[in-house]
Structure 1
Amino acid sequence: MATISSLGIGSGLDLSGLLDQLEDAENEKLTPITEQKESYQTKLSAFGTLESSLSSLRDAVSKLSDPETFTAVTSSMTGDAVAVSTTGEAVAGRYQVDVTQLAQAQSQASNTIFDSKSDELGISGTLALSVGDGDAVSIDYAEGDSLEDIRDAINGADAGASASIVNDGNSYRLVLTSEKTGTDSEISLSGDTDAFGFSTTVEAQDAQLTVNGISITSQSNTVEEALQGVTLNLTSTTSGAETLTVSQDTESMTEAVKAFVDAYNSFQSTADNLTSYDAESDTAGTLLGNSTMRSIESRLRSALSFGTSDGTYNMLSDLGIERQLDGTLEADDDKLNEAIASNSDAVSQFFAGVDGEGGFAASVDDTMGTILDDGGLLEIATDGIDATLERLDERYTRTQESITATIERYRTQFSQLDQLVSQMNSTSDYLTQQFESLNAQLNQ
């Protein structure tokens, strides 16, 4: 008998539909595994959100651990001739700055003029070029070289001077310019220079200025350490003394402390969302009751209670930073600003300690390390989830393979049933035909 290619064709029964129902029922075995995977993946995502929040908090704490945060200064000039940058070593005060001369680089141009910058010059020789106390660099040129070739050779020699070609409207000249300003960077030429006849067109010049009446000479227009911790960038001469004011940057200090408070409150908000419970909707946060979450919150609460007997300020509350009933921090702006303005060194000692040790920030960072560093609480928790997800993937695969084998077995059995019923139907039809024929004969 021919093989039945589609279930139910031979028997007329809805065996395909029945097989589909059985397959759907078998696939229900995968549902609890899928739900478990989704639950663990959601938890893994929650730990990722938590880690991001904790990393931001650690960054804010790191800022407080830097003593320079509390030695920051700000500066201003009354004019535009001098731009100023400062470090934490700058001393607060007012300074009179008068710039009488800017530093400039020496420039030499060839007295010989050339009709073309790209044609062969038909001259050869060697130029020995040095800048200041630097070693002389030899630049060879041949008869087949053009002015452009000689320019490129000088620029490629790294001699401390750059070469360019100037077109005066009628002809071309080779120009050499020192890469540094000041009289210590004058250009010296020797060798076969007659073909060019260089002469100085711009004299090397040092910057000349006075600070509070004291004369200062600088090779560069960037004047460092004329004032401790201050860099003066000269852009033009002054028509009279300009006033430089250097003062403590209490605003940036306050912002650093408030950034820590904000970062902690952001972490607390994240933690609250992850551990919340809504009785009305019976919905729980992803990490509600999670032991790792509880441990992290406990360790950070303990870190905030840091206290020291050294220094003017011994705990956060001394600076006006108090923990609220909801777990957040709140800063008393007046108390904090007064502490920073009156004794920023003591504030620095509380947060940054002495030589980076013993302060609040270092203590909190140590706690953060037990949470965020390799082998910390988060890594242990997420590694455990990853291992569980891997086991669930393996279980899912095994279950799916078992379901596939079961359905194939059902398919084979249904096919055999289809063929058997088809054979029985054929036999029934044959017997019915024979009986009808026999009955007709008897009636006759």
Structure 2
Amino acid sequence: MSSITSLGIGSGLDLNGLLGQMQEAEQAKLDPIAQQVESQQVQISAYGEIQSALSTFGDSLGNLNDPSLYQSVTAEVSGGAVQASAGPEASPGRFEVEVGNTATASNLTSERVADLDTIVSKDGGELQLSFEDDSLDHAVAIAADSTLEDVRDAINADPDASVNASIVFDGEGHRLTLMSQGTGEQASITGTDFADLAAGNLADDPGDTVAQAGQDANLSVNGIDITSPTNQIEDAIQGVSLTLQEPGSSEISVTQDTGSIREAVTGFVESYNELKGTTDRLTDFNGEEGEAGPLIGDSAVRTIESSLRNELSAGEMQDGELSLLSDMGLSLSVDGTLALDGQQLDASLANDPDAVAGFFAGNDESAGLAGRLESTTEQLLSSNGALEGSINSAENRIDSLEERFERTEQSIDQTIDRYRTQFQQLDSMMGQMQQTSNYLTEQLNGLGGGQGGGGMGGMM
């Protein structure tokens, strides 16, 4: 009797289809576990969104908590004589600047050479450069068989030459012109031995050297006369850099940079509202679609919102007086977002900028609002904070669910293997029974035929 190798052959039943249905029913046990894993992953992603928004909020607090923000000043200039920029050491004030002349560089132009391809120095040598400040005096090495262009290139390639060289054509010949790299009288180039270097190779009418001395800048600040070899003046007004543009008058107004403070406060409000919008979206229930946010009712989110709201609601004691958000033009709206009254903030900055600085950045003795919020935010984002704890818990649940998923898969495989074995046994048994039935039927049929034949013969 041959063994049954395919389900249903022996019995004639659709055992393969039945086994498939049973396997599908068993596999359904995995769906709830997979759904729970997906739910935890969605929560982790949502926590990541809150972490990002909270981190951005923390960055805005860092700007608002920086004392240098409230010490910054800006310089506004009227008139085209100067440009000005104010540094942290500058003090507010108004300054009248009169520029008599700006600092200029010197020029010296050599004797003529007839053609550009004329060999200026057949044997080579050194070109001596002399300056008003003799510490700048320098000799430039000139190669043999150098043309005027070669001399120019050698000067420009020498980092210690203190001049820039070029060539001009004056209608009668070509000249080497040298411009001092520095401005002012002391940087002036005063002479060169170009004629000696090019002896015998100059034009028939070489002409004389042409020199134009550099000059120092002359200006006055609030009536005080100042001389400078450059047009960049760093020490005339403490903390203010001046760049001379042209002769004339300018007025410089150095004031506190309230624009930067206003920008920092605006950034603080916007980042807080973005954080609030993120938490609302992730914790809301959408009644129309019947969908709940992935973090609805989440304790970590409630901790974040209550911690920040408590800090925002608290006032600041300054000189024995309590300052509130409203004094800075800020208010908490009904929906929990921050609103900014720009006019109120500008008025506070104009009337008492120190109070604004104290409210947000605090002082040496105590932190201000931005400092306290920054500490709270850092704690919430730390490895021991509410968010990280929730993320770790979700990851641990995923690990546990994945282990459960794997165990369930193994159990399903074992169950299906057991069913398959039982079906194979059933199929085999029914096949054997069918063969036995067929055999008995044949035997009975044979017995019935013999008895019938004998009876008829007797009768005949």
- TM-score, length-scaled by structure 1: 0.75
Q: What is the deviation of 1:383?
A: 3.0
Alpha carbons 2:140, 2:158 under 8 Å: kept = yes
Change (3 A) 1:391 1:135: farther
Change (3 A) 1:60 1:202: farther
Change (3 A) 1:438 1:330: same
Q: Secondary structure, in 3 states, of the residue corresponding to 1:322?
A: strand
Structure 1: distance between partners of 2:43 and 2:275:
17
Q: Which residue identity does 1:218 align to in structure 2?
A: S
The aligned counterpart of 1:296 is 304
| Cα offsets for 1:279-337 (capped at 9, x unmatched) | 67654333233222222222212322143243666333433433344433344444433
The aligned counterpart of 1:396 is 405
Question: For 1:144-163, what aligned pairs fall within 5 Å after superposition?
Answer: 158-159=159-160, 161=162
Alpha carbons 1:72, 1:249 under 8 Å: kept = yes
Structure 1: distance between partners of 2:179 and 2:249:
31
Change (3 A) 1:280 1:189: same
Structure 2 gap ranges (5+) = 200-208, 454-460
Q: What is the deviation of 1:372?
A: 2.1
Q: What is the deviation of 1:364?
A: 1.9
Alpha carbons 1:210, 1:216 under 8 Å: kept = yes
Greater CA drift, 222-231 or 430-439:
430-439
Q: What is the deviation of 1:274?
A: 2.9
Alpha carbons 1:121, 1:144 under 8 Å: kept = yes
The aligned counterpart of 1:220 is 230
Greater CA drift, 350-359 or 129-138:
129-138
Structure 2: distance between partners of 1:45 and 1:356:
40
Q: Which residue identity does 1:274 align to in structure 2?
A: L
Q: Secondary structure, in 3 states, of the residue corresponding to 1:241?
A: strand
Change (3 A) 1:167 1:192: closer
Structure 2: distance between partners of 1:53 and 1:168:
67
The aligned counterpart of 2:204 is none
Alpha carbons 1:97, 1:212 under 8 Å: kept = yes
Question: For 1:367-386, what aligned pairs fall within 5 Å after superposition?
Answer: 367-386=376-395
Q: What is the deviation of 1:344?
A: 0.8
Question: For 1:130-145, what aligned pairs fall within 5 Å after superposition?
Answer: 143=144
Q: What is the deviation of 1:355?
A: 5.1
Which of 346, 349, 355 does residue 337 from structure 1 map onto? 346
Q: Which residue identity does 2:267 align to in structure 1?
A: A
Structure 1: distance between partners of 2:287 and 2:63:
40
Structure 1: distance between partners of 2:95 and 2:441:
124
Change (3 A) 1:195 1:423: farther
Percent of residue pairs bearing the same amino acid type: 40
| Cα offsets for 1:260-287 (capped at 9, x unmatched) | 2333333233333333345676543332
The aligned counterpart of 2:278 is 270
Alpha carbons 1:97, 1:244 under 8 Å: kept = yes
Q: What is the deviation of 1:121?
A: 7.8
Alpha carbons 2:140, 2:161 under 8 Å: kept = no
Q: Which residue identity does 1:387 align to in structure 2?
A: N
Alpha carbons 1:308, 1:315 under 8 Å: kept = no
Change (3 A) 1:366 1:392: same
The aligned counterpart of 2:45 is 45
Alpha carbons 1:120, 1:146 under 8 Å: kept = yes
Structure 1: distance between partners of 2:128 and 2:408:
84
Structure 2: distance between partners of 1:195 and 1:296:
82
The aligned counterpart of 2:23 is 23
The aligned counterpart of 1:56 is 56
Structure 2: distance between partners of 1:137 and 1:30:
88
Structure 2: distance between partners of 1:359 and 1:5:
82
Alpha carbons 1:130, 1:136 under 8 Å: kept = yes
Structure 1 gap ranges (5+) = none
Q: What is the deviation of 1:342?
A: 0.9
Change (3 A) 1:407 1:184: farther
Q: What is the deviation of 1:210?
A: 2.6
| Cα offsets for 1:83-133 (capped at 9, x unmatched) | 33223544444433333333344566665868469x998655567889979
Change (3 A) 1:370 1:237: same
Which of the pair has more CA radius of gyration? 2
Q: What is the deviation of 1:12?
A: 5.4
Aligned pairs, how many?
A: 440
Question: For 1:99-248, what aligned pairs fall within 5 Å after superposition?
Answer: 99-106=99-106, 115=116, 123-125=123-125, 143=144, 158-159=159-160, 161=162, 166=167, 168=169, 179-183=181-185, 185=187, 195=197, 203-234=213-244, 236-238=245-247, 240-248=248-256
Q: Which residue identity does 2:240 align to in structure 1?
A: V
The aligned counterpart of 2:70 is 70
Q: What is the deviation of 1:408?
A: 5.5
The aligned counterpart of 2:456 is none
Change (3 A) 1:243 1:353: same
Change (3 A) 1:158 1:421: farther
Change (3 A) 1:154 1:340: same
| Cα offsets for 1:367-393 (capped at 9, x unmatched) | 222112444333333233333333434
Q: What is the deviation of 1:39?
A: 1.5
Question: For 1:298-337, what aligned pairs fall within 5 Å after superposition?
Answer: 298-304=306-312, 305-310=314-319, 314-337=323-346
Alpha carbons 1:125, 1:192 under 8 Å: kept = no
Structure 1: distance between partners of 2:427 and 2:100:
109
Q: Which residue identity does 1:45 align to in structure 2?
A: S
- TM-score, length-scaled by structure 2: 0.73
